[in-house]
């Protein structure tokens, strides 16, 4: 673990130097032990292996030959995976268009093409699409027609995940393999339901509010600013104990391209955050992105957002660093949702949500509640036991 953390810190140091425009090539060093392998695994966990490989390939970063070769492998698989996901996205967009469904492309399949050096440097495990609630059933039929199988999580009833049938097996945890499992995450809202009574407030944008993007064989829509930056920050923060370095780099790249030198855009962003009461949900990501590359986030805007965030949340964020933000062992699970609480009323709502399981946004029937709670407890106990068994 010490070698892993040292590698994470080194990767963040290199990212800071490159993104800050440090003069000359930036030297990447391996931890003393176990060296190169730890660096590669840490890059996999942080999602930056292919990006580091690109920087090495273009001479922006220098490394020992074995380290450079390792990250060349990361980059090769990143490029091949980007080609695979593009092919699958093209199929999905065509299937949905055939049913009259307007589709929005979210997150990495958008930012990888527009903000990263090339698509293969923004590694993605899934394709994220947004459709209007009225098109939900037609969109499901379209993905089902591609032979994909749907799965849902009861905590996010407005999302569904689609994947090819069969066993999903990871080829390796050393790097993001080109043939690693993939899927399509389909959403009907930009919001995340923390628990009943507390959710983020971005909603589903009107078609007129999106930008028509001609990157693929058929036109799609993407989020325009400042909604794009708000959504990326919200999504990054929502994985509070799993904020990866690549998501922070993404925020830095978007801010540098779209906001640098434009105070009016920062004010529009701050207004949107205030209007949607999203300050607490974007604050962790913004604070960490600013600490990764100082000067990325407008200081007065960040200060206003910080003041609107709960005090406990600010304290937790102060205890994190951009390099070591992910909580790897043991993962807190349900406790991740409780970092957002800002009042006794929200605490009571959270306890009620925890005490009475829900299904499709409604409390389960009384005769199912006990069974649902038992299943919750089994999962929680299983995580605790697995976390304490030596491997």
User: What pLDDT, in 10s, does the model give residues 260-314?
Assistant: 999 999 999 999 999 999 999 999 999 999 999 999 999 999 999 999 999 999 9
Residue 144 has pLDDT above 90, yes or no: yes
Task: Tell me how far the alpha carbon of residue 302 is from its chain's centroid.
Answer: 20
User: Cα–Cα–Cα angle for 42, 122, 141, nearest 5°?
Assistant: 115
Residues 6+ apart with CB under 8 A from 31: 3, 6, 7, 10, 38, 39
* Higher pLDDT pick, 345 / 11: 11
Whether 350 contacts 310, CB under 8 Å: no
Identify the weakest region by mean pLDDT among 10-19, 304-313, 332-341.
332-341
Q: How does residue 384 score in pLDDT terms, banded at 50, 70 and 90?
A: low
List, as one string, the DSSP characters of 126-186: EEEEE--GGGHHHHHHHHHTTT-EEE--TT-TTEEEEE-SS----S-SSS--TTS--EEEE
Q: Evaluate if residue 145 carries a pLDDT over 90.
A: yes
Please give the average per-residue pLDDT across 104-112, as a whole number.
Answer: 96
pLDDT, tens digit, 9 for 90 and up, residues 346-381: 888 777 777 766 665 566 666 666 776 677 667 666
Nearest-angstrom CA–CA distance, 225 and 254: 10
Q: Using an 8 Å Cβ cutoff, are 176 and 49 in contact?
A: yes
Half-sphere exposure of 336 (CA within 13 A, CB side): 19
Of 42-46, 98-102, 134-138, 357-361, least confident by mean pLDDT is: 357-361
Would you state the structure tokens that stand for residue 81, as one six-digit string?
């995976």
- Who has greater pLDDT, 116 or 373? 116
Q: Which of 106, 113, 43, 62 is nearest to 257 (CA)?
A: 113
Report the sign of the C-alpha dihedral through residues 356, 359, 361, 366, in that order.
negative
How much is the pTM? 0.90
In this prediction, residues 154-161 reach a mean pLDDT of: 74
- Using CA atoms, how far residue 116 sits from 24, 53, 108, 113, in Å, is 20, 13, 9, 6
Nearest to 110 by CA among 215, 205, 260, 191: 215
**pLDDT value of position 195:** 72
How distant, in Å, are the alpha carbons of 47, 155, 166, 199, 390 from that of 238?
17, 14, 29, 11, 30
What band does 247 get if pLDDT is binned at 50, 70 and 90?
very high
Say if residue 77 is preceded by a cis peptide, omega within 30 of 0. no
Whether pLDDT at 389 is above 60: no
Locus of tokens 């906001």: 259
Cβ neighbours of residue 52 under 8 Å, at least 6 residues apart? 11, 14, 28, 43, 61, 71, 74
Q: What is the dihedral of CA 83, 84, 87, 91, to 10 degrees?
A: -160
State the average pLDDT for the chain: 89
pLDDT score at 235: 94
Beta strands in the chain (DSSP E): 26-27, 61-62, 104-106, 126-130, 149-151, 159-163, 183-187, 193-195, 198-199, 211-213, 220-222, 358-359, 362-363
Q: Does position 156 have pLDDT exceeding 90, yes or no? A: no
Q: What does the pLDDT average to over 179-196?
A: 88
Cis amide leading into 54 (omega within 30): no
Instruction: Round the CA-based radius of gyration of the chain to a whole number and report it.
Output: 21
- What is the C-alpha separation between 122 and 369, in angstroms, rounded? 42
User: By mean pLDDT, which of 4-8, 54-58, 80-84, 207-211 is the weakest?
Assistant: 207-211
The C-alpha atoms of residue 367 and residue 359 are separated, in whole angstroms, by 13
How large a percentage of the chain has pLDDT more than 90?
68
More confidently predicted of 261 and 390 = 261
Average pLDDT over residues 205-231: 93
Q: Are the beta carbons of 171 and 323 closer than 8 angstroms?
A: no
Ramachandran assignment for 147, one of left (phi > 0), alpha (psi -120 to 50 degrees), beta (any other):
left
């Amino acid at each position: 673990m010490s070698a892993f953390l040292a590698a994470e810190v080194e990767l963040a140091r290199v990212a800071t130097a490159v993104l800050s425009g440090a003069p000359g090539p930036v030297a990447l060093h391996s931890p003393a032990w176990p060296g190169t392998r730890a660096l590669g695994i840490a890059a996999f966990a942080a999602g930056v292996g292919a990006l580091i490989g690109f920087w090495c390939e273009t001479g922006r970063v220098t490394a020992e030959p074995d380290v450079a070769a390792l990250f060349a492998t990361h980059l090769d698989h990143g490029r091949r995976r980007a080609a695979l996901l593009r092919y699958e996205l093209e199929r999905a967009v065509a299937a949905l268009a055939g049913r009259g469904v307007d589709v929005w492309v979210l997150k990495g399949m958008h930012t990888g093409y527009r903000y990263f050096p090339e698509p293969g440097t923004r590694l993605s495990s899934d394709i994220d699409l947004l459709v209007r609630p009225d098109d939900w059933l037609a969109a499901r039929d379209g993905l089902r027609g591609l032979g994909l199988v749907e799965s849902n999580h009861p905590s996010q009833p407005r999302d569904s995940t689609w994947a090819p049938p069969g066993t999903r097996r990871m080829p390796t945890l050393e790097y993001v393999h080109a043939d690693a499992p993939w899927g399509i995450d389909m959403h009907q809202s930009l919001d995340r339901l923390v628990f009943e009574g507390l959710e983020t407030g971005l909603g589903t944008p009107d078609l007129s509010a999106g930008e028509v993007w001609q990157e693929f064989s058929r036109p799609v829509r993407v989020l325009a600013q400042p909604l794009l930056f708000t959504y990326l920050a919200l999504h990054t923060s929502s994985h509070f104990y799993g904020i990866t370095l690549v998501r922070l780099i993404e925020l830095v790249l978007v801010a540098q391209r779209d906001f640098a030198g434009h105070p009016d855009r920062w004010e529009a962003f701050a207004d949107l955050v205030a209007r949607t009461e999203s300050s607490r949900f974007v604050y962790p990501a913004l604070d960490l992105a600013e600490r990764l590359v100082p000067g990325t986030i407008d200081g007065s805007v960040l200060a206003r957002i910080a003041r609107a965030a709960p005090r406990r949340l600010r304290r937790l964020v102060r205890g994190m660093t951009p390099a070591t933000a992910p909580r790897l062992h043991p993962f807190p699970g349900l406790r991740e949702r409780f970092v957002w609480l800002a009042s006794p009323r929200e605490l009571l709502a959270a306890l009620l949500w925890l005490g009475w399981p829900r299904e499709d946004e409604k409390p389960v029937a009384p005769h199912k509640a006990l069974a649902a709670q038992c299943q919750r407890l089994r999962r929680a106990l299983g995580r605790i036991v697995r976390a304490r068994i030596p491997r």
